Structure 1
């Protein structure tokens, strides 16, 4: 992956749905240089609520294993509100059944944990 690419997303807003503090802080730090604005949901229910109240969200990074409402169900509900919103799944699983389930939920792409920094930025760049 190309780590030398400088992305400037200061006019973009990302919703990060991530219940684990360490994972959110990691994402916040690696995306800081892009100047992207971030908001965080700690569970799927909060992700839906924040999406409904922030119509200017450009992309969602969705952890698939979250409390209250999981990422699969949150993605389905968000896509019913706005089908064209790009949602990138974050998952510890690799290909196979989990991949099929992620895509069936409505995610546009996915990245596996541990997250490859360059890979994540390249995936985000495809959609915003």
Structure 2
């Protein structure tokens, strides 16, 4: 209808790489990220996450599970950081570090998200980065 003002401009959707070995968590994240992800790439191992990043260097955000087969999230993040110091990487883990800020700074992450994941907290953290 005319005269009601312009619609708020929709934010651009993000290209997100999710490195998560649990298929149920992959589905849960896919659902939670619908409103912010224009494209969601899925990796089930750290090796696959690094490969997918090499093939998709335009990724906006990486959600990196710390415990995965073949290569854990720490090592995968280290390898990705060698290629790109600026890409935003969120650590995902059920095991909360004693001090999140030290953990983030020392391990190359931009943010830490503890499992179980709460949708509102995840989206708020993403919004702060973008």
Is the pair's TM-score, using the shorter chain for normalization, greater than 0.5?
A: yes
Task: Give the structure 1 partner of residue 33 of structure 2.
Answer: 31
Structure 2 unaligned blocks of 5 or more: 1-9
- TM-score, normalisation: structure 2: 0.84
Q: Do the aligned partners of 1:90 and 1:110 also contact (CA within 8 Å) in 2?
A: yes
- Alpha-carbon contact 2:97-2:103 (below 8 Å) kept: no
CA contact (8 A) 2:16 2:62 kept: yes
Q: CA deviation at 1:98?
A: 7.7
| 1:67 partner SS | coil
In the alignment, what sits opposite 1:80? 82
- Which among 59, 84, 93 is matched to residue 61 of structure 2? 59
Q: TM-score, normalised by structure 1?
A: 0.86
| Per-residue deviation, 1:40 | 0.5
Aligned in 2, Cα 1:97/1:67: closer, same or farther, shift over 3 Å? farther
**Structure with greater Cα Rg:** 2
Q: For this pair of structures, how many residues does the alignment match? A: 121
* Structure 1 unmatched runs, 5+: 1-6
